[in-house]
Amino acid sequence: MIGRHRSGAWIGLGSALGLVFSSIAHAAPLPVVATLPVLADFVRVVGGEHVRVTSLITGLESEHTYTPKPSDIQAVHEAAVLVKVGLGLEVWVNGLIKNAENPRLLVVETSQGIPLMRGGESHGHDEDGRDLHNDEGPRAGGNPHVWLDPENAQVMIRHISEALGRADPERRKLYLANQAAYLKQLDELQRSFVQQFKTIPNRKIITHHPAWPYFARRFGLEIRGDIFTQIGSEPSAKRLAGLIRTIRQEHIRVIVSEPQLSPKIPRALAEETGATVVVLTPLPGALPGTDDYLSMMRYNATTLIEALR
Least Å distance between CB 120 and Zn ion?
11
- Of 67-75, 97-105, 211-219, 242-250: span binding Zn ion (CB under 5 A): 211-219
Cα–Cα distances in Å, from 19 out to 23, 26, 32, 163, 266? 6, 10, 24, 26, 60
Is 227 an interacting residue with respect to Zn ion (CB under 5 A)? no
Residue 145's beta-bridge partner residues? none
Asked whether 89 and 118 are in contact (CB, 8 A), the reply is no
**Please, which residue, 211 or 269, has the CB nearer to Zn ion?**
211
The Cα–Cα gap between 18 and 20 comes to: 5
**Please, which residue, 211 or 216, has the CB nearer to Zn ion?**
211
Least Å distance between CB 282 and Zn ion?
6
- Of 178-186, 206-214, 237-245, 294-302: span binding Zn ion (CB under 5 A): 206-214
Least Å distance between CB 162 and Zn ion?
26
Residue of the chain from 211, 269, 278, 307 that contacts Zn ion (CB under 5 A):
211
**Please, which residue, 64 or 253, has the CB nearer to Zn ion?**
64
- Of 36-44, 169-177, 192-200, 210-218: span binding Zn ion (CB under 5 A): 210-218
Least Å distance between CB 284 and Zn ion?
14
**Please, which residue, 47 or 141, has the CB nearer to Zn ion?**
141
Size of the site for Zn ion (CB under 5 A): 1
Least Å distance between CB 276 and Zn ion?
22
**Please, which residue, 137 or 232, has the CB nearer to Zn ion?**
232
**Please, which residue, 80 or 89, has the CB nearer to Zn ion?**
89
Of all residues in the shown chain, the one whose CB is closest to Zn ion is 211
**Please, which residue, 163 or 211, has the CB nearer to Zn ion?**
211
Least Å distance between CB 216 and Zn ion?
14
CA 301, distance to chain mean position in Å, is 17
The backbone torsions φ and ψ at residue 91, rounded to the nearest 5 degrees and listed phi first, read -60, -20
Chain positions contacting Zn ion, by CB under 5 A = 211
